[in-house]
Amino acid sequence: MNLSNKKLLISLLITIITGAIFWKIAKDEIFYLCSNFSAGVTKSIVIRQLNTANLSSYMNTSNDSGSTIVFSSKVYFVSNQCVIKLDESEKVIHASFM
Protein backbone atom coordinates (compact mmCIF):
# COMPACT_ATOMS: atom_id res chain seq x y z
CA MET A 1 0.00 0.00 0.00
CA ASN A 2 1.54 3.30 -1.05
CA LEU A 3 1.49 6.53 0.95
CA SER A 4 -1.43 8.18 -0.91
CA ASN A 5 -3.63 5.11 -0.36
CA LYS A 6 -2.79 5.14 3.36
CA LYS A 7 -3.70 8.83 3.59
CA LEU A 8 -6.96 8.18 1.75
CA LEU A 9 -7.81 5.29 4.08
CA ILE A 10 -7.02 7.35 7.18
CA SER A 11 -9.15 10.24 5.87
CA LEU A 12 -12.03 7.88 5.19
CA LEU A 13 -11.81 6.37 8.68
CA ILE A 14 -11.74 9.81 10.29
CA THR A 15 -14.79 10.85 8.26
CA ILE A 16 -16.72 7.72 9.25
CA ILE A 17 -15.83 8.08 12.93
CA THR A 18 -16.75 11.77 12.94
CA GLY A 19 -20.07 11.01 11.25
CA ALA A 20 -20.84 8.29 13.78
CA ILE A 21 -20.11 10.67 16.66
CA PHE A 22 -22.39 13.38 15.22
CA TRP A 23 -25.14 10.79 14.59
CA LYS A 24 -24.97 9.62 18.22
CA ILE A 25 -24.93 13.14 19.64
CA ALA A 26 -27.88 14.24 17.46
CA LYS A 27 -29.92 11.15 18.40
CA ASP A 28 -29.17 11.63 22.11
CA GLU A 29 -30.06 15.34 21.94
CA ILE A 30 -33.53 14.53 20.60
CA PHE A 31 -34.07 11.61 22.97
CA TYR A 32 -33.06 13.40 26.17
CA LEU A 33 -34.90 16.63 25.43
CA CYS A 34 -38.02 14.69 24.42
CA SER A 35 -38.01 12.83 27.73
CA ASN A 36 -38.30 16.17 29.58
CA PHE A 37 -41.79 16.87 28.23
CA SER A 38 -44.39 15.17 30.38
CA ALA A 39 -48.10 15.96 30.44
CA GLY A 40 -48.87 19.44 31.76
CA VAL A 41 -45.59 21.13 30.83
CA THR A 42 -46.28 24.50 29.20
CA LYS A 43 -45.38 25.35 25.62
CA SER A 44 -43.08 28.16 26.73
CA ILE A 45 -40.97 25.70 28.75
CA VAL A 46 -40.88 23.27 25.81
CA ILE A 47 -39.75 26.01 23.40
CA ARG A 48 -37.15 27.31 25.85
CA GLN A 49 -35.63 23.83 26.18
CA LEU A 50 -35.79 23.11 22.44
CA ASN A 51 -33.93 26.35 21.76
CA THR A 52 -30.93 24.94 23.67
CA ALA A 53 -30.40 22.22 21.03
CA ASN A 54 -27.28 22.45 18.88
CA LEU A 55 -27.89 19.77 16.23
CA SER A 56 -31.68 19.84 16.09
CA SER A 57 -34.53 22.17 15.23
CA TYR A 58 -38.30 22.20 15.62
CA MET A 59 -41.41 23.09 13.65
CA ASN A 60 -44.62 24.20 15.36
CA THR A 61 -47.96 23.54 13.64
CA SER A 62 -51.26 24.83 15.05
CA ASN A 63 -54.64 23.17 14.57
CA ASP A 64 -58.14 23.37 16.05
CA SER A 65 -57.40 21.16 19.05
CA GLY A 66 -54.04 22.73 19.97
CA SER A 67 -50.68 22.37 18.29
CA THR A 68 -47.96 19.89 17.42
CA ILE A 69 -44.23 20.48 17.68
CA VAL A 70 -41.95 18.20 15.68
CA PHE A 71 -38.38 18.27 16.94
CA SER A 72 -35.87 16.66 14.59
CA SER A 73 -32.19 16.69 13.75
CA LYS A 74 -30.40 19.09 11.44
CA VAL A 75 -27.99 16.22 10.74
CA TYR A 76 -29.61 14.68 7.65
CA PHE A 77 -28.71 11.06 8.29
CA VAL A 78 -30.47 11.04 11.69
CA SER A 79 -34.07 9.95 11.23
CA ASN A 80 -35.19 10.28 14.86
CA GLN A 81 -37.71 12.87 15.92
CA CYS A 82 -39.81 13.89 18.89
CA VAL A 83 -43.48 14.69 18.34
CA ILE A 84 -44.97 16.87 21.08
CA LYS A 85 -48.76 17.29 21.14
CA LEU A 86 -50.21 20.28 23.01
CA ASP A 87 -53.81 21.08 23.94
CA GLU A 88 -55.70 24.37 23.45
CA SER A 89 -54.24 25.79 26.66
CA GLU A 90 -50.70 25.18 25.31
CA LYS A 91 -49.84 22.36 27.70
CA VAL A 92 -48.23 19.09 26.70
CA ILE A 93 -50.61 16.17 26.23
CA HIS A 94 -48.01 13.70 25.06
CA ALA A 95 -44.42 13.63 23.76
CA SER A 96 -43.13 10.65 21.85
CA PHE A 97 -39.67 9.79 20.53
CA MET A 98 -39.65 8.01 17.19
Render pLDDT for 18-65 as a digit per residue (tens, 0 to 9). 988 888 888 899 999 999 999 999 999 999 999 999 888 999 999 888
pLDDT one-digit tens code per residue, 75-90: 766 678 999 999 999 9
| Pair 81, 14: CB distance under 8 Å | no
Q: Quick check: 53 and 29 in contact, CB under 8 A?
A: yes
Q: Does the predicted model carry a pTM greater than 0.85?
A: no
Contact 70, 61 (CB under 8 A): yes
